[in-house]
Copies of this chain bind each other. A is one copy, B any other.
Amino acid sequence: MAEEPTVDPQSLERLLLGRWAQTRLTTRATLTDEQFHSVPGLTLHEHRQRVRDQLQGLVTAGAVHRAFPRRFGGSEAPGANIAAFEELVTADPSLQIKAGVQFGLFGAAVQQLGSTHHHERWLPGIMDLSIPGAFAMTEMGHGSDVSSLGTTATYDVDTEEFIIHTPFTAATKRFLGNAAEDAKDAVVFAQLITRGVNHGVHCFYVHIRDDDGEPLPGITITDDGLKGGLNGVDNGRFRFDHVRIPRDYLLNRYADVDADGTYSSAISSPGRRFFTMLGTLVQGRVSLSGSASAAAKLALIGAVTYGNARRQFHATSSTQEEVLLDYQLHQRRLIPRLAATLAISFAHEKLLAKLDDVLSGRDDSEENRQELETLAAAVKPIATWHAVETLQAAREACGGAGYMAENRLTSLRADLDIWVTFEGDNHVLLQLVAKRLLTDYAAEFADADVAAMANYVASTAGSAVMHRFGLRRTLQSVQDTGDERRSANWFKQTTVQRSLLSSRVRQMVADLAGELRHATKLSSTERAAVFNAHQSELIEAAKAHADLLLWESFTEALSQVDDAGTAEVLTWLRDLYALTRVEANLSWYLCHGRISAQRARTLGPYINRLLARLRPHVQDVVDAFGYQPEHLRMELTTEAEAQRQHEAEEYYRRLRASAQAPVEERIVLAKRAA
């Protein structure tokens, strides 16, 4: 038997910190300051005030300006900016989201959709927080379906103004961070109408409150009130009653309206124009993926550390109880989540690098931009669901202790809950991924019917940005597993894992294409019915694709590990990731003859052995996440439980050693009745 490998925490930590290691470390150092830490039990009012103050603290610390232009004091480093942003989740997700609204949505819209004069006029105030702002996209009636927004921006040629108007209640802007109390200004997404033509959704800069904080004439603001989490963010609603703004308040980088009302745009396709203008959303999705992976890491540090200290029930010894993590069930609950967290972490690192390439202009090609959008749409749903479920699994694995606010698992879970919905509902995003899979499949076979059907899927799935895709790579990676089926360690082979994961995507897409290809000949109602009858399978295909993406990222990361022991343990974790995904979809593999029943029966036991093999190393892995006590702030991760056990053991030992103990103690160890 080979020597037992050892994880080198420094090596693994370096790998996980990735390309923006220094930025992450700097931000983590900033966040050790108590001023940035969440305080449980604050009222809505206190929490909002604390977050407001914290946000100013981040500005002072220079922690949140990296994406902005150098001439305004930024560093034009979009990737580093997101890396820093992601770390904020350890401080307080409310602070993070408030920062995200101000700089990543409101500020980024001005920067990315506006022109130089907009930048000069507003970016300095946005950056120093003298102009708090809202990102007014979502309406009561429309969240995911942005193209159906009801708010209008009608050009009035007489006064050279746009009239921003909420024509009915459902068009009221809703769930806007910063809106209820703070926003002085906002970027407002509305249907641009000029000369009797609706040119679709565009973005406008609108003043919201006067210097006393009162709503400006024509603007009604309502507080969204208490939420299931993130209560440090003041979400609210805007309703506009014929609010007039100057013509040049249209953020006109991609489209403009002349004084005489003539509409022009460098992007001729209205669809592409719309997607381009919605491109600001992608960095929100990317940053949520990274933050979600950070939150899952916090949860696992808590649950693994506690699971390595806490003992319950006598199993192998009558004097010492069993450590929780020695139980197979506990391993099953936590270690596969650790493996998935690493997979997401590595996939996110690739995603972030691509975002940096695009937003820095280093590789701003249409194709790369579209690939970024598609990757983000696949990873964000998986990462955010995973974080919420891992926080819950950690909470349950820590029992009653997990439920105490002092251990933060419940509040982090409550805060991250909405992440599966905002910045693109997870199911809507996955549906768009499925559309890309179908489109790529159609392109491969030059199948016009499938391509048309894919377009139809996209139009019913929503208007979020979604473009080129990696199906071709998927196709190439399908391999014949032929002889390998006979080898003993079949499941642990990289080629087998790749083949299992990629062949599933390919087969599912091919099956769907076959089912949907004739629907283009049907009436719209019948076509909708055919599509709807396969909606679950579309989502499943997109998830299968995400599984493959994550596995590929994990596998690529293995080649970057410089320490042999670390590489071996990480390879086991990569195997575990692959095999738990196969196990979760085992019936599919059986139904489609990809795995025999005989082999399938060996999978569960194989995974269990893998868990036992990994068990001695999981503490090293979570330690390598590199978070300090100031980031964790959980009693679970302190020595408290171990000390309590030590005290109890000492007590029993002392009693055994001495008959001089006080009467009630001496007899504790007396022979038990029975």
User: Once the chains bind, are B672 and A404 in contact (CB under 8 Å)?
Assistant: no
User: Once the chains bind, are A664 and B193 in contact (CB under 8 Å)?
Assistant: yes
A462 at the interface (CB under 8 A from B): yes
User: Once the chains bind, are A405 and B225 in contact (CB under 8 Å)?
Assistant: yes
Contact partner of A329 (CB less than 8 A), chosen from B414, B535, B597, is: B535
Q: Tell whether A168 pairs with B647 under 8 Å between CB atoms, given A193-B670, A225-B405.
A: yes
User: Once the chains bind, are B171 and A648 in contact (CB under 8 Å)?
Assistant: yes
- For the side of the interface on A, what is the size category? 35 or more
Contacts of A43 on B, CB cut-off 8 Å?
A: 41, 43
Interface centre among A197, A313, A317, A531 (most CB of B within 10 A): A313
Chain B residue with Cβ nearest A599:
B591
A476 at the interface (CB under 8 A from B): no
Within 8 A of B (CB), among A583-606: 583, 586-587, 590-593, 597, 600-601, 604
Contacts of A414 on B, CB cut-off 8 Å?
A: 228, 410, 414
Within 8 A of B (CB), among A393-413: 395-396, 399-400, 402-406, 409-411, 413
Chain B residue with Cβ nearest A265:
B673
Chain B residue with Cβ nearest A175:
B400
Contacts of A253 on B, CB cut-off 8 Å?
A: none
Contact partner of A315 (CB less than 8 A), chosen from B321, B411, B531, B650, is: B531
Contact partner of A600 (CB less than 8 A), chosen from B175, B198, B532, B587, is: B587
User: Once the chains bind, are B41 and A410 in contact (CB under 8 Å)?
Assistant: no
Contact partner of A590 (CB less than 8 A), chosen from B191, B322, B600, B670, is: B600
A581 at the interface (CB under 8 A from B): no
Q: Tell whether A674 pairs with B197 under 8 Å between CB atoms, given A165-B664, A170-B644, A586-B587.
A: no
User: Once the chains bind, are B329 and A427 in contact (CB under 8 Å)?
Assistant: yes
Chain B residue with Cβ nearest A529:
B316
In the bound complex, what is the Cα–Cα distance between A129 and B465 (angstroms)? Answer: 60
A152 at the interface (CB under 8 A from B): yes
A446 at the interface (CB under 8 A from B): no
User: Once the chains bind, are B532 and A154 in contact (CB under 8 Å)?
Assistant: no
Contacts of A593 on B, CB cut-off 8 Å?
A: 597
Contacts of A191 on B, CB cut-off 8 Å?
A: 668
User: Once the chains bind, are A148 and B321 in contact (CB under 8 Å)?
Assistant: yes
Q: Can you show 6 pairs from A to B with CB atoms below 8 A apart?
A: A168-B647, A228-B405, A263-B673, A270-B673, A399-B425, A533-B608
Given contact pairs A156-B663, A197-B672, a sample of 8 additional A-B residue pairs in the complex whose CB atoms are under 8 Å apart: A141-B644, A152-B668, A167-B668, A227-B404, A315-B532, A400-B418, A400-B421, A403-B421
